[in-house]
């Protein structure tokens, strides 16, 4: 995850506050303190009196972005640019909003204009590097980071973002050095500590642990630094076999992160109920032969931390299959229409075909080779497996499944850069896993054989047999390179990036057992799904 910061008016704005209306200054100061409730009425009053105040429009767009209303933010920023086409700060903000909506190509186009208008604009190169990384242009992205750091070497968050990119391309030692540099410049930077822990290969020293504990004990660190430090200390103490102390930090980090997230496990259950109701056997049969018939995509989905990156790496080692990353396009397309998934019966054959073709067009930028097949490994696509079957009936679907306790606890101790709001409570995680199993069992009933399931523990125990079955489902011949997947050189943009660069191992499958005394809430939430693994409960 690349850290990109903004402020109310643009860089060096504090020195120029006197030129703005006092009400706007007060709103800017409130935003600088992240006091959105105080800033919003001030901005509304300002725009009511001065509807063409582009600085106020831009600041209101920033407010919308902070609460996740990116489309509103985009509309406001485009309005500001219509009124003032040379408003570089608004254009830079527009690029950020486009990036956060997973529209990196458009973000890059706006950033190219920023570079023309104001080559030294603060933050432009950092965001442009992040956007280039999003579309797989890693070498260009690394060059931009290096260009920034050559002239501004004391920026810890840029060193951290540089470390993320180095990790992605497999330059692990350089990535560690970049994270260490970020920590040297800002010892309380929790995300840098967590980034080291998240490599799963770094073992923290006594001095490291003392430094993290000292930072955590400080009363004035940001909430984000605090929960990142808790996750990092949880990992450090787990590696030392101190399960009680480790769980205390994992629990604290999760509880703090959960406070800032809006997630309802009941809403997820209602969504699955509705999808099962809509996707009856008769409904799915009535759509036979519709959609886009392209066979290109292979969807690897399921729970996070269930082996999807391992499966991706095995498949991407095949000469006919290209690995990409966790692509955001299926959720965007699925949720475009109103009342999803209840609206699925309203989609015509032409709609389904057009949606499948649009998916292929949107993802084309991620494909860097001429290989005929490519992987989309967004785990959360399990919730859209029915949609995938409707719009791309010839695509392959791989369900990566892992033991409920191992998988769910691995989610609990993982801080995700974005998304996965279900993963910060043992009860939420267990209910989410049970709903996932319930939906996939339904799809097995109404379209037997449409989904190929890879049981993680079976892959560990008999790798070659499982790889052969996997490749056969994908319609390609077995190739020995798929067994030496750890030697495949490619960018890996997930938390498991370093693990899949090593031979397969089974140590992680039982890591949850040290924490068994603390997992009763998870057991209760999983219910019969736990007892029946790897099969779903018969009552589903």
Mean pLDDT, rounded, for 18-40 = 86
Sign of CA dihedral 112, 114, 117, 123: negative
Domain boundary (100, 121, 142) is at 121
Give the model's pLDDT for residue 500.
Answer: 47
Which of 73, 89, 121 is at the close of a domain? 121
Report yes or no on 183 lying in a domain: no
Give me the mean pLDDT over the 465-479 stretch.
97
How far is CA 12 from its chain centroid? 32
pLDDT score of 503:
59
Say yes or no to pLDDT of 374 above 50: yes
Q: Residue 482's domain is classified under what CATH number?
A: 3.40.50.300
Residue 232 domain flag: no
Q: Which residue do the tokens 């290969």 mark? A: 201
Structural domain tally of the chain? 2
Of 121, 139, 171, which residue is a domain's last?
Answer: 121
Question: Is the preceding peptide bond at 534 cis, omega within 30 degrees of 0?
Answer: yes
Task: Compute the distance between CA of residue 144 and CA of residue 190 in angstroms, rounded to an integer.
Answer: 24
For residue 286, tell me if it sits in a domain. Answer: no
Whether the per-residue pLDDT at 11 is higher than 60: the answer is no
Evaluate whether 99 touches 107 at the Cβ level (below 8 Å). Answer: yes
Highest mean pLDDT among 83-92, 319-328, 387-396: 387-396
* 74 pLDDT higher than 70: yes
Report, as an integer, the average pLDDT of 68-92.
Answer: 93
**Structural domain includes residue 168:** no
Higher-confidence position of 219 and 2? 219
Q: Check residue 126 and give its pLDDT.
A: 83
Residue 148 scores a pLDDT above 90: no
**pLDDT tens digits, residue range 411-420?**
999 999 778 9
Q: Note the pLDDT of residue 125.
A: 84
Strand 321-325 relative to strand 451-455: parallel, antiparallel, unpaired? unpaired
- The yes-or-no verdict on residue 2 having pLDDT over 70 is no
Q: What is the pLDDT of residue 497?
A: 46
Dist CA 411 CA 302 (whole Å): 12
> What's the confidence (pLDDT) of residue 510?
85
Percent share of the chain, pLDDT over 70: 93
Q: What is the mean pLDDT of the chain?
A: 91
Are 317 and 488 in contact, with CB atoms under 8 Å apart?
yes
The Cα 401–Cα 222 span in angstroms is 36
CATH number at residue 22: 1.25.40.10
pLDDT score for 308:
93
What is the per-residue pLDDT for 113? 93
The whole-number pLDDT of residue 363 equals 94
The 10s digit of each residue's pLDDT in 422-443 is 999 999 999 999 999 999 999 9
> What is the reported pLDDT for 384?
98
pLDDT value, residue 159: 95
Quick check: is 114 in a domain? yes
Region 460-486: what's the mean pLDDT? 94
What's the N-to-C CA distance of the chain in angstroms? 38
The pLDDT assigned to 101 comes to: 87
- Has residue 536 got a pLDDT over 70? yes
Q: Cα(365)–Cα(361) distance, rounded to whole angstroms?
A: 8
The residue to which tokens 């949720």 are assigned:
335
Q: Range of 106's domain?
A: 1-121
Give a yes or no: residue 347 inside a domain.
Answer: yes
Between CA 99 and CA 104 the distance in angstroms is 5
pLDDT at 122: 74
239 located within any domain: no
Residue 387 or residue 536, greater confidence:
387
pLDDT band at 199 (very low <50, low <70, confident <90, very high): very high
Q: Does a structural domain hold residue 524?
A: yes
- Residue 142 gets the label, from left (phi > 0), alpha (psi -120 to 50) or beta, of alpha
Identify which has the larger pLDDT, 539 or 160: 160
Q: What is the pLDDT of residues 487-530, one digit of tens each?
A: 776 455 454 544 544 556 666 678 899 999 999 999 999 999 99
Pairing relationship of beta strands 321-325 and 373-376 according to DSSP bridges: parallel
Instruction: Over range 244-264, report the average pLDDT.
Output: 95
Task: Using the predicted structure, report yes or no on whether residue 55 has a pLDDT greater than 90.
Answer: yes
Query: What does pTM read for this prediction?
Result: 0.84
Please tell me the least confidently modeled range out of 5-19, 114-128, 243-257: 5-19
């Amino acid at each position: 995850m690349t850290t990109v910061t903004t402020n109310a008016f643009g860089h060096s704005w504090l020195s120029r506050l006197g030129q703005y209306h006092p009400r706007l200054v007060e709103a800017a100061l409130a935003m600088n303190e992240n006091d959105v409730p105080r800033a919003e009425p001030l901005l509304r009053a300002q725009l009511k009196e001065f509807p063409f105040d582009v600085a106020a429009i831009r600041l209101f767009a920033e407010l919308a972005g902070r609460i996740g209303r990116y489309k509103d933010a985009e509309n406001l920023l485009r309005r500001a640019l219509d009124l003032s086409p040379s408003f570089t700060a608004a254009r830079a903000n527009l690029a950020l909003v486009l990036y956060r909506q997973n529209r990196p190509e458009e973000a890059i186009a706006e950033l190219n204009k920023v570079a023309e208008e104001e080559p030294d604009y603060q933050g432009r190169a950092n965001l442009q590097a992040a956007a280039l990384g999003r579309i797989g242009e890693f070498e260009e992205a690394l060059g931009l980071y290096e260009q920034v750091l050559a002239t501004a070497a004391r920026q810890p968050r840029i060193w951290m973002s540089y470390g993320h990119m180095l990790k992605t391309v497999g330059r692990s030692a350089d990535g560690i050095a970049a994270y260490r540099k970020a920590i040297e410049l800002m010892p309380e930077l929790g995300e840098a500590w967590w980034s080291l822990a998240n490599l799963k290969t770094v073992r923290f020293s006594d001095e490291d642990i003392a430094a993290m504990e000292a930072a955590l004990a400080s009363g004035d660190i940001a909430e984000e630094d605090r929960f990142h430090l808790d996750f990092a200390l949880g990992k450090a103490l787990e590696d030392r076999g101190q399960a009680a102390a480790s769980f205390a930090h994992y629990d604290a980090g999760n509880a703090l992160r959960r406070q800032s997230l809006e997630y309802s496990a009941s809403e997820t259950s209602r969504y699955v109920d509705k999808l099962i109701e809509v996707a009856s056997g008769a409904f799915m049969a009535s759509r036979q032969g519709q959609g886009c018939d392209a066979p290109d995509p292979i969807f690897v989905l399921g729970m996070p931390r269930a082996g999807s990156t391992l499966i991706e790496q095995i498949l991407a080692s095949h000469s006919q299959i290209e690995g990409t990353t966790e692509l955001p396009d299926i959720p965007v397309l699925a949720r475009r229409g109103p009342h999803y998934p209840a609206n699925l019966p309203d989609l015509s054959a032409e709609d389904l075909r057009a949606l499948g073709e649009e998916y292929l067009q949107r993802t084309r930028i991620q494909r860097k080779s001429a290989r005929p097949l490519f992987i989309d490994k967004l785990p959360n696509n399990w919730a859209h497996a029915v949609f995938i079957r409707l719009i791309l009936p010839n695509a392959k679907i791989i369900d990566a499944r892992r033991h409920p306790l191992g998988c769910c606890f691995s989610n609990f101790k993982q801080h995700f850069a974005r998304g996965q709001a279900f993963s910060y409570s043992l009860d939420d995680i267990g209910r989410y896993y049970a709903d996932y199993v319930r939906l996939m069992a339904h799809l097995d009933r109404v379209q037997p054989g449409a989904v190929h399931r890879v049981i993680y523990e079976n892959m560990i125990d008999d790798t070659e047999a499982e790889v052969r079955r996997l490749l056969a489902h994908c319609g390609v011949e077995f190739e020995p390179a798929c067994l030496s997947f750890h030697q495949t050189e490619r960018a890996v943009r997930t938390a498991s990036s370093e693990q899949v660069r090593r031979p397969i191992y089974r140590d992680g499958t039982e890591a949850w057992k040290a924490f068994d005394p603390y997992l009763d809430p998870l057991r209760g939430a999983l219910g019969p799904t736990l007892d029946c693994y790897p099969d779903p409960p018969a009552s589903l």
